Amino acid sequence: MIRKKRGSSLIMVVIISGILITVGTAMLSMSVGDYKRRVVESTRIKNLYSSESGLDAAYNILVKTFDAAAIYGVNEIERYKETEAIINIDTEIQEIKDSTTITNKDEQIKEQEAEKDRRINEHFKEVFSTFIYKENAVESVNSDIPTNEDELRKSINGKKYVAFNEDGTEAYRHVTLNVDDGEDDEADLSVAIEGNYKITITSNYRTIDTNVKATTKRTLQSTYNMTVPNYKDIVFSERKVELPKYTFLNDKAIIVGGNMNVIDSPLSVTGNIFIQGNGYNDIDVDGIDRAYNKYNGGIVLDASTNKKKVIFNGDVVTGKTFNIRNYVESTINGNLYAMNVYAGNENAADDSARYSTLYVSKTSPDKIQDVEREVVVDNDITLKADNTNIIIDKFFGINDKNLKYSYETRSNGRNESDRPLGRTSSSIIVNAHQNSGVKIITEAYIMGVAHINTDKTVTTNGYTTGESTGVKGNYIAYALPDVDQDGNIESVDNYGQLQLLKEDNVIIKSEYFKKYWEGKLPVENTGGIELPETTRDHPERKTWSLGARVYKDSNNVVKVEDSSYRLNGIPSVIGEKQKIFASKVYHIDGETLTDTDLQALYDALGHEKDEVSDLMSIENALQSYKDENPIFFKNSADTSDKSNQRNNNEKAIFTDKDIIITASDTEDIESDANSITIKVHNSTNTLNAFVATSGKVTIDGNVNFKGNIIAECDLDITGSDQTTIEYNKELSDRIQASNVDLFSSVFGNGTIEAEPGTTLGSLNVEYDVNKFIKNGIWKIV
């Protein structure tokens, strides 16, 4: 009998399990890859067949017929306004205005105007609908002259469309299909129209294969859904519309009151973004480990393994930290305004972050313009990451709030307060940097010095160093002080368990630091920091720092320099950047403030700053909107799932629930007690919308969002597929113009500011046909 070795069964189980897991993972990867290939191939075939069959031309006929119906409807309304039905209302309105006995004139006039608008809209929709489709329409004796009835069917079948001449008359213009090869028969198009309005276009056509001398017959169908527009939706292209101007919306794709988390997702944002941020508040909290907690909240970019690209085409503003962590390549094609810029993981005890890059520079491979970019922070740039680089054109570390400094008067070089402020002053800090670095190319202004967190259990600011570029390992200079011959450095003092140089004046500390390290600092102790130097070839480059600085120059030579303060004081540019910072970070409302007000707001550390929650009141949304969209509101008495935004290509989503936006095989809006899910059809992956919520927003998957996002809580971007968010002013204006009362109920009346030579608040808005025609399914019959 063969004796079995102890543990052999377990080894076999482990081996077999490993094989099964490997095979299963490979099969899953193949399935996902196969699915993606099928989607790509389906799209390719659809595009090929659409061109070959003439369905693309048929869609263009559909669009042109819609435009013709709109023009015809507007012209008919002008005639309708001259009829007795409207003239009588106008007369009644004028009599009310002229009356000296009516006390509620405004109310009565409003009622009459509402009745006038109702009649005009009904008449417009009637003539528009008849133009598009009329059952059992009588054919004209002259088929070359439009009758303004059932024109879509006649146009598709006849491969033509209605066009308006310059003199206002109408005529057909014909289109030709399959013009490229000259061999295949022209497609035979037909259309079926159901209800209001499902439009099915069928193409029967033949293609000739010259290799085998055979003819292939094919039948393709494409289905569209058309919504009959309201009169006001169309006439925006014909008249001026006065809109309240919400200055906080200007050029902003995203406004978020909480944090923005981009996790394992490639992302592209076009438009400015504002992320208020929730996290460490150094004004209110005592006795915690502020050395790392101060980086909590703001914008987080992180990935697990495969590097993800995150691109911001516009300014990025956050009241907390811009934090890159692992496997992220990020570019900001704009300026960055933040409390901190931090490359590292969230907790102090975590391993170093790794393999990330941040460009706020025209040297980025993803730049869109050859323009220098700026980073303005009220605290620090901090690096605790390996194989990670931060590249900046111009850096402004503007916080000198809690320091007084004077070279002559030593007593003024101390902190004004021992409160545990995480924002004591601005500096560049390197705590881990294997193959990492911070490179500033053109200008660097560093208004503060680093601090050593000597004892996290106490509530003081720790130990103030004399370095504007603090690199871990270099602080040993303060633990080994020498006595200066002039007697200015006399002793050490206890800081927690450490004995460090007893000296309050940061200017003197910076000189001491330079003397200690000059000539003996190894290149690795520069922390990978590169600062701009004025040279003959680059006279525009310069660095100013309150404290000492260590860095390596372009030749990899170590430089140790002391404070710039003694020679040339504080640059005036810092005061200007402080006011800009206050206007960007603390004053999201956007109303004009004086320079004095902005400086006071900055000096108060943003006390009484604007909150995103102050910008809107979702609970005040129009009752009519709530009645039409009960699924958007938690406490709605209507438990149905109706929403008038489902079939709208340009949606206005106002809700007190969380919002989830995801790609799907179907297009719909679903709801549960606490959230709504907007499903974006994966044939286009596009959502045109203005989204406002008192909750959070999550975008999951391959979604192309166009419009605005305003959320009082967080914005999370998840999923491994590309997400794009694009601010589009024309789209935003159209949605607002269609919902003026809704916007006013949520955002207030706004402000009206006129450009020179223009009418107050006037806007010329053209309708978007995509709002009314939705591309549905296509199939081979």
Mean pLDDT of 639-653: 89
Q: Rounded to an integer, what distance in angstroms lies between the CA atom of residue 123 and that of residue 129?
A: 10
Predicted pLDDT at 124: 93
Q: Rounded to an integer, what distance in angstroms lies between the CA atom of residue 564 and that of residue 445?
A: 10
In this structure, the answer to whether residues 543 and 661 fall within a common structural domain is: no
Query: CB–CB of 69/82 below 8 Å?
Result: no
Highest mean pLDDT among 57-66, 206-215, 389-398, 468-477: 389-398
Residue 264, Cβ density class (10 Å: 0-12 exposed, 13-18 middle, ≥19 buried):
middle
In this structure, the answer to whether residues 512 and 620 fall within a common structural domain is: no
Mean pLDDT of 391-410: 69
Domain finish residue from 506, 538, 571: 571
Render 543-565 in DSSP notation, one character per residue.
EEESSBEEEE-TTS-EEEE--SH
In this structure, the answer to whether residues 687 and 750 fall within a common structural domain is: yes
Question: With bands split at pLDDT 50, 70 and 90, how would you rate the model's confidence at 420?
Answer: very low
Question: With bands split at pLDDT 50, 70 and 90, how would you rate the model's confidence at 682?
Answer: confident
Mean pLDDT of 89-97: 91
Predicted pLDDT at 618: 96
pLDDT for residue 689 is more than 70: yes
Predicted pLDDT at 239: 46
Closest by CA to 577, choosing from 422, 415, 426, 383, is 426
Cβ neighbours of residue 196 closer than 8 Å, sequence gap 6 or more? 129, 227, 228
Taking only the tens place, the pLDDT of each residue in 224-269 is 888 888 887 786 544 455 667 788 898 999 999 999 999 999 999 9
Q: Rounded to an integer, what distance in angstroms lies between the CA atom of residue 503 and that of residue 441?
A: 33
Beta strands at 241-242 and 762-763: parallel, antiparallel or unpaired = antiparallel
By mean pLDDT, which of 278-292, 572-586, 652-666, 746-760 is the weakest?
A: 746-760
Whole-number average pLDDT of the chain:
81
In this structure, the answer to whether residues 534 and 567 fall within a common structural domain is: yes
User: In whole angstroms, what separates CA 482 from the centre of its chain?
Assistant: 54
Instruction: Name the token pair of 159.
Output: 């491969």
Helix 729-738 with 740-747: angle, nearest 10 deg:
100
Domain finish residue from 571, 597, 628: 571
Cβ neighbours of residue 687 closer than 8 Å, sequence gap 6 or more? 651, 661, 678, 680, 703, 704, 705, 706, 707
Question: With bands split at pLDDT 50, 70 and 90, how would you rate the model's confidence at 753?
Answer: very low
In this structure, the answer to whether residues 644 and 693 fall within a common structural domain is: yes
Judge whether 233 lies within some domain: no
pLDDT, greater one: 166 or 772: 772
pLDDT, greater one: 644 or 53: 644
Judge whether 275 lies within some domain: no
Judge whether 716 lies within some domain: yes
User: What total number of domains does the chain contain?
Assistant: 3
In this structure, the answer to whether residues 510 and 374 fall within a common structural domain is: yes
Predicted pLDDT at 179: 42
Enter the DSSP assignment of 608: T
pLDDT for residue 118 is more than 60: yes
Cβ neighbours of residue 684 closer than 8 Å, sequence gap 6 or more? 704, 775
Highest mean pLDDT among 16-25, 311-320, 474-483: 311-320
Enter the DSSP assignment of 570: S
Predicted pLDDT at 212: 52
Helix 595-603 with 573-581: angle, nearest 10 deg:
80
pLDDT for residue 48 is more than 60: no
Closest by CA to 397, choosing from 428, 424, 420, is 428
pLDDT for residue 185 is more than 60: no
Question: With bands split at pLDDT 50, 70 and 90, how would you rate the model's confidence at 713?
Answer: very high
Q: Rounded to an integer, what distance in angstroms lies between the CA atom of residue 339 and that of residue 281?
A: 11
Question: With bands split at pLDDT 50, 70 and 90, how would you rate the model's confidence at 707?
Answer: very high
pLDDT for residue 355 is more than 50: yes
Predicted pLDDT at 34: 56
In this structure, the answer to whether residues 108 and 213 fall within a common structural domain is: yes
In this structure, the answer to whether residues 761 and 620 fall within a common structural domain is: yes
Cβ of 659: how many Cβ atoms within 10 Å?
A: 24
Mean pLDDT of 630-643: 92
By mean pLDDT, which of 469-483, 518-532, 762-776 is the weakest?
A: 762-776
Cβ of 465: how many Cβ atoms within 10 Å?
A: 24
Mean pLDDT of 479-508: 61
Query: Quick one: the chain helix, strand, coil %, rounded to 5?
Result: 30, 30, 40
Instruction: Name the token pair of 32.
Output: 């996902």
By mean pLDDT, which of 56-70, 103-117, 142-156 is the weakest?
A: 142-156
Predicted pLDDT at 758: 36
In this structure, the answer to whether residues 421 and 446 fall within a common structural domain is: yes
Judge whether 591 lies within some domain: no
In this structure, the answer to whether residues 348 and 493 fall within a common structural domain is: yes
pLDDT, greater one: 539 or 461: 539
Mean pLDDT of 735-762: 67
Predicted pLDDT at 408: 43
159 lies in which domain range?
55-226
Residue 343 host element (H or E) = strand 340-343
Judge whether 535 lies within some domain: yes
Predicted pLDDT at 366: 96
Predicted pLDDT at 757: 38
Judge whether 20 lies within some domain: no
The residues facing 654 across adjacent strands are 692
Give the end-to-end CA distance of the chain in Å, rounded to a whole number: 70
Which amino acid is residue 298, in one-letter code?
G
Judge whether 49 lies within some domain: no
Domain finish residue from 191, 226, 261: 226
Question: With bands split at pLDDT 50, 70 and 90, how would you rate the model's confidence at 630?
Answer: very high
- Kindly state the percentage of the chain with pLDDT values over 70: 76
Q: Rounded to an integer, what distance in angstroms lies between the CA atom of residue 682 and that of residue 620?
A: 34
Taking only the tens place, the pLDDT of each residue in 370-381 is 999 999 999 999
Question: With bands split at pLDDT 50, 70 and 90, how would you rate the model's confidence at 463?
Answer: confident
Enter the DSSP assignment of 524: G
In this structure, the answer to whether residues 623 and 691 fall within a common structural domain is: yes
Mean pLDDT of 505-533: 87
In this structure, the answer to whether residues 447 and 370 fall within a common structural domain is: yes
Judge whether 307 lies within some domain: no
